[in-house]
Amino acid sequence: MSVADNLKLFRESKNLMQKEVYTEIGLKPAHYNKLEKGLVEPSIDILEKLSAFYNVTIDEIIHYSNATPKEVTIEDKTASEQVKLIAQLNEKDKNTVMNIIDTMLTKQKFQNFFEQNLQPNK
């Protein structure tokens, strides 16, 4: 789909009129209309304003789709497939996953240590 189609879909998915959008982002009516018709491409500045208005990323505006993404079920994957899926995450999410794994491994090591070394002798 084109950016113009995406702009229209995004606006309609929020049940907004063109006037509400172009007034909020500071465009003239004719210019916004040309954006939705694909007669002009939006500038980075306009994309930034639209992304702030819709509270989404510019990428989401450019690649917008009403299709619901297919759910990924991790438990069906092998360890190597899981690592590949984690590698596809953005850096912040990747670090979060790794921190969770590190925390769980550390907890398990402490638990094993205490069970082996601090249990009363029977």
Q: Is 10 exposed, middle or buried (0-12, 13-18, 19+ CB in 10 A)?
A: buried
pTM recorded for the entire structure: 0.52
Q: Which residues span the domain enclosing 38?
A: 3-62
Residue 83 has pLDDT above 80, yes or no: yes
Same domain, 55 and 34: yes
Give how many domains the chain has, as a whole number. 2
The token duo for 30 is: 């004719």
Residue 67 lies in a domain: no
Same domain, 12 and 38: yes
Residue 54 lies in a domain: yes
Residue 99 has pLDDT above 70, yes or no: yes
Residue 26 has pLDDT above 60, yes or no: yes
Same domain, 17 and 47: yes
Q: What is the pLDDT of residues 53-73, one digit of tens each?
A: 988 888 888 887 655 455 656
